[in-house]
Structure 1
Amino acid sequence: MTQAGTLYVVATPIGNLGDLSARAREVLAAVDAICAEDTRHTRQLLAQTGIERPLLALHEHNEEDVAWKLVERLRAGETLALVSDAGTPLVSDPGYRLVREVRAAGLKVSPVPGACAAIAALSVAGIPSDRFCFEGFLPAKASGRREKLTALSGESRTMVFYESAHRIEESLADMAAAFGGGREAVVARELTKLFETVLGDTLDELIGKIAADDNQRKGEFVVVVRGCEDDTEARLLEGQRLYAKLAEHLKPSLAAKLAADISGAPRKALYGGGE
C-alpha cells in the first residue's frame, strides 16, 4: 500500500527484468504518477510488467523548474514515484533536487531499494569493500579526466567508476598512468544482462585484454579499482600531486617543502634540488 503525500524513490532493473522487486511493482502500479528520467524508456519497462500509470519527465534539464510543482501535488495528497532509466535513482542520475525539496516541505520520501550497478560490481569484484568511494562518470575531456584521477591517486579506499563503451580504453589508460599499471582493478560489463563479463587483473593487463577483444569494448561498464594499500605510497602520490600544482606558482624548493609538510611525503622524493 502507498501513503498519501509520499514520494517513493524506486530502484528499477539495470538489465535483468527479474530484478524488479515485488514491492517496486506494487508501488509503481499504485502511485498517481511516475517521475521518469526518460519517459520512453520507462514506458517500455511498465509495458513489460503490465503497469499503466501517467509518466512525468524529470531530468537534469528541468528538475529545478518542475520540483516545486511536484511538491504541490504531494501536498494535495497525491503519491508519486521517482525512477531513473536503470538502477537506483540519484546514483549518478537526476533526482536529488526533487528529494531535497520534498523533504524541505516536510513531506515523506520513502526508498524502495533494488538494483544498483555500482554495488553489484563491488559485490563481485573481490576487492576490499569495507571502505569505498563512488566517483560516477569521469570527465569526458582527457584533461579533466586526468586531473580528477591524479587527485584520487592517494585514495586508500576502493574506488568505483562508471564508464561508457567509447571511453573505456582511454579511461583505463589514464587510470594506469595515475595509479600505476600494477594496481588491481575489475572491469564489470553489462551486469545482469546476457553478455555480462567481469574481468579482474592489473590495470595494464586489463587494458590488453579489452584491446584484444572487440566484445569487451561494447556495453555499459563499472570499473572497480583498489585503493593505495601502503600509507607511504599514498603520502608520496599525494605529495607528488601537490608539488605539481604548487610548482606552477612557487619555486621548486618551496613547492616541495610545502607539499611535503602537507602530505607527509619525503621532500627529497618530491624535489631533488638544493635549497
Structure 2
Amino acid sequence: MYKKKNNIGLLYIVPTPIGNLLDITYRSVNILKKVDFIITENIKHTSILLNQFSIINKLLSLNTINEKKKTNQYINILKNGNNIAIVSKAGTPIINDPGYILVKHAYYNNIRVVPLPGACAAITALCASGLKANQFCYEGFLPNKKKKCEKKIYSLRKEKRTIILYESPKRLIHTVQLIKKIIGATRKITISKEITKKWENIQRGTAEQLLLIISNDIYWKKGEITIIIEGDKKNNTKTISSQALKIFNIIKKETNNTTAIKITKKICGLNKNVLYNKIIKENIL
C-alpha cells in the first residue's frame, strides 16, 4: 500500500472479477485485506467474493440511490486517515457504476486516488471480437426509451471506430434488430454473453446472421451481454469535380502545389484536406 500524506487516507479503485473469481489480482486481494473500509455497490454480492479469499473487512454501501448522500460521509472518513477501497458488483468500478462523485470529491479534497488494473467486460469482449481494437468508442447501455434508443443508434451509424455497447438480455433481440435496420444488415458485430464464466458464449457475424442465432435460443434470454459493432468503412470523402481539378492543374503551372491547392480551395469553396487527399489519390502532384 502507498504511504499516507498529511495523515489523509487513500482511495483505492479495485476491480473485481466479472465472472471467474480467479481473475482477481494478487494486488487487489492484498489491498482489500489491508484497507480500513470497503465501499461496494452490492454488499451481499461483494461478501461472497470476500469470503472466497478469506477477506474480513467492514463493508459500506454506495449505490445510485445513496451516492450523493454518502459521498461527504466517506470523504470525512478518508480525511480522518482511513484507507478505503471502492469496488463494484463486478468489473472495474466507476464505469457504468456508482463512484464517480466520490472520486471527483476526493480530488477536490486533495485525497490521493489509486486505481488498480483488472477485469472489464467491455475490454475483454473487444479483444475477442475479431474487430479493430486500435480505435474504439464505449457507449455503455443504450437509453431505455424506444425513441431515444433509436436516436442513439442512428447517431452511431457513421462512427468509424469500433463501438462497444452493454445490453440486457431482455432487450438484446430488439437492439440487434435496430442495428440491422439503422446501421445495416451486413455490418459485422460480435455478441458476448457471460464473459469469463463457464457458460461464456461469443458469436460473431452480421446483424442479420446473429438475429437468426439469438432469436430461437432461450440461452440468450439471460446473462450479461456486450455488443461490439464494426465501425463504418464507407468512404465519406466529398467528390471533387473535374472543373475543380482543371482549375488546380492550370494554377499549379504558375506556382507551387501548396499554393495551387489553397487558391483552388478558395475559388471552388472546397475543404483543403479533401482537395489534397483527392489530388494525392489521383497522383496529380
Pairwise TM-score range, normalised by the shorter structure:
0.7 to 0.9
Q: How far is 1:233 from its partner?
A: 9.1
Unaligned runs of 5+ residues in structure 1 are: 235-260, 265-275
Choose which of 59, 67, 72 in structure 2 pairs with 1:63: 67
Q: How far is 1:2 from its partner?
A: 4.7
* Structure-2 separation of matches of 1:218 and 1:75: 42
Choose which of 167, 179, 188 in structure 2 pairs with 1:163: 167
What residue is the counterpart of 2:83 in the other structure? Answer: 79
Q: Deviations over 1:143-197 (max 9, x none)?
A: 2211111111111110000011111101111111110011000000000001101
What residue is the counterpart of 1:181 in the other structure? Answer: 185
* Structure-1 separation of matches of 2:69 and 2:235: 46
Matched positions, count:
237
Q: In 2, are the aligned partners of 1:33 and 1:81 still within 8 Å (CA)?
A: yes
Specify the code of the residue in structure 1 equivalent to 2:102: L
* Structure-2 separation of matches of 1:29 and 1:2: 14
Unaligned runs of 5+ residues in structure 2 are: 239-270, 275-285
What residue is the counterpart of 2:245 in the other structure? Answer: none
* Structure 1 segments of 4+ aligned residues over 2 angstroms from their partners: 1-4, 231-234
Q: Deviations over 1:85-105 (max 9, x none)?
A: 000001111111100000111
Is 1:154 the counterpart of 2:195? The answer is no
Q: Deviations over 1:210-249 (max 9, x none)?
A: 1122213321100000110113299xxxxxxxxxxxxxxx
Q: Deviations over 1:83-136 (max 9, x none)?
A: 000000011111111000001111100011100000000010010011100010
Q: In 2, are the aligned partners of 1:9 and 1:112 still within 8 Å (CA)?
A: yes
Root mean square deviation of aligned Cα: 1.8
Choose which of 92, 110, 114 in structure 1 pairs with 2:114: 110
Choose which of 84, 96, 110 in structure 2 pairs with 1:92: 96
What residue is the counterpart of 2:233 in the other structure? Answer: 229
Choose which of 40, 44, 56 in structure 2 pairs with 1:40: 44
| Bigger Rg, structure 1 or 2 | 2
SS of 2:171's equivalent in the other structure is helix
Q: In 2, are the aligned partners of 1:2 and 1:79 still within 8 Å (CA)?
A: no
Q: Deviations over 1:55-95 (max 9, x none)?
A: 11001111111111111111111000000000000111111
SS of 2:189's equivalent in the other structure is strand
Is 1:144 the counterpart of 2:148? The answer is yes
Using structure 2 for the length normalisation, give the TM-score.
0.80
* Structure-2 separation of matches of 1:177 and 1:14: 31
